[in-house]
Structure 1
């Protein structure tokens, strides 16, 4: 912690902003290889995260690991503070990358009623991800589905909030492992109530009273924090009773950190911050959208 505080005290504003962001690996490649020229242009202030090195590139595992090493080596040797980046990947039912193992879909796994199987599965996923240099997985999905018309139902563990919580805890324990230095950071998503959209339409508004929100839809996330020690949470795209999740200080700070004691990182779903401008119309431009999200807790 002392090292973190020391680095922050030395950072310029531009370097702090860079640590809040992520860049797709494709923007650092040329003809299937790592491009030093592109990295010099895009990573001069460092970067917080690299998006899907193995998954996006579709490289063989050995080549994906070499690409990850090349990116990290550049950051260590060519940036002022020499801070390596977090590499995140998708891994809902298997590491989404070339030659990785694919497991049954989440709704099928929930039908086993055996959390132990989930933990064994994510132990394998963790090992495969770490082998190619990944540090964070964008799973599990802890959405409680109460409208089967919703198009992402199969990504979830179903309609029962207790079962969703049990499966989610097992997923997180397997992915993060006993020692996070050798594990993969799990990311519980989509916070919150993403599985109950108006009309069953993805991204549609959610209308809930505070008691049902807490007792049903927040419950799996609360267990993820308090029981499993999850280290990352991802916001949802929609709004809850008119307040976009990406700009909800009540959800992302007051409840998550203040009430539950969450001490990890909150990450934005892809494009969710800009949707404060383009979909929710609560921000005039990208800068205002970013400010609202940052103040809320992303």
Structure 2
């Protein structure tokens, strides 16, 4: 009697192996382009519907070839359910087909992380809508908020979503700021306590909670969106940072940077903030994702980067792991910068 030889699975597919070793083995076999592909999101349908992010329609790429992108892999899929009205069953089936395409089309079969907005419930057609965060703060009831977030998370997980872009932990004290309705309140302890409850609920359902916006977004000058932050070190430490510290202890696995700059340094390029404080001081070991288009804004709005490749290098070196919502800087511009020796010095892009 003869037996067919069995082929041992690739080491990174062995669920019983050490996760760190699995990652190291996989990375050692990936090309630079394949590594970079894991560092950006892809937004199919960015040009459909209304404005969901600042300057959204300036980033439409008519030449985007999804089939070609799949060959190298895709890090994240942006707002599969939230971009346009889609029946949840049809949307889930479509997402499953897309994930199969991504897995089958690349060498290593890495599926994409799917993220959605979920502050007042999954931002999608037919999903349950919950009260705004200002109402959460008014309840003074962390357990109620935790139970609400758990339900939101279970809805998302059932559809194949992995990451939620919430909660908003910006302490709002200037009512002129246009995103006050997304905030929990003006007291840092209240914001941190209620926000941590939301994090605990979302994470308990297996969804990655994303803390935003790190840090100072709501303290922009004259309450203008994207304006510089007018806050000194003491106000930042006493008012703006405590909610993030509390929510990180609650188990949040992702953080999103602020659009603003503080003392002339944009958050997206601030290594002191995103690495020195967040990782070295707070001990955060999760994923830092870019506020939508904030990497490109280093070149287009802040004017601190010479071009998109330079913007990518600054953001990656500062500590932004994933460019969202779609590839603009971490794709070809970063590839060219790394190959030319001019950028991409961050830990995640090292070949």
Q: Into which bin does the TM-score normalised by the smaller protein fall?
A: over 0.9
Partner of 2:5: none
Q: 2:176 aligns with which of 133, 142, 149?
A: 149
5 Å-filtered alignment, 1:193-232, equals: 193-225=216-248, 227-232=249-254
Q: 1:65 aligns with which of 92, 100, 119?
A: 92
* Mapped contact 2:203–2:251 kept (Cα < 8 A): no
Which structure has the bigger radius of gyration? 2
Distance across 1 between alignment mates of 2:218 and 2:292: 18
Q: 1:250 aligns with which of 250, 268, 272?
A: 272
Superposed structure 1 runs of 4+ greater than 2 Å apart: none
Distance across 2 between alignment mates of 1:207 and 1:199: 9
Q: Secondary structure at the match of 2:255?
A: strand
Residue by residue, what CA displacement relative to the aligned partner does 1:76-116 show, whole Å, maximum 9, x if unpaired?
21111110110000001110011110001111221111111
Residue by residue, what CA displacement relative to the aligned partner does 1:118-173 show, whole Å, maximum 9, x if unpaired?
11111110111011100000000000012111010010001100000001100000
CA-based RMSD: 1.4
Q: 2:44 aligns with which of 7, 12, 25?
A: 25
Partner of 1:45: 72
Distance across 2 between alignment mates of 1:123 and 1:104: 14
* Mapped contact 1:194–1:236 kept (Cα < 8 A): yes
* Mapped contact 1:72–1:85 kept (Cα < 8 A): yes
Q: 2:299 aligns with which of 248, 261, 277?
A: 277
Partner of 1:33: none
* Mapped contact 2:295–2:312 kept (Cα < 8 A): yes
Q: CA deviation at 1:60?
A: 1.0
Partner of 1:54: 81
Q: 1:3 aligns with which of 19, 22, 27?
A: 22
Q: CA deviation at 1:261?
A: 0.5
TM-score, normalising length from structure 1? 0.93
Distance across 2 between alignment mates of 1:145 and 1:205: 15
Q: CA deviation at 1:38?
A: 4.6
TM-score, normalising length from structure 2? 0.79
Equivalent pairs counted in the alignment come to 285
Distance across 2 between alignment mates of 1:136 and 1:160: 27
Q: 2:287 aligns with which of 243, 261, 265?
A: 265
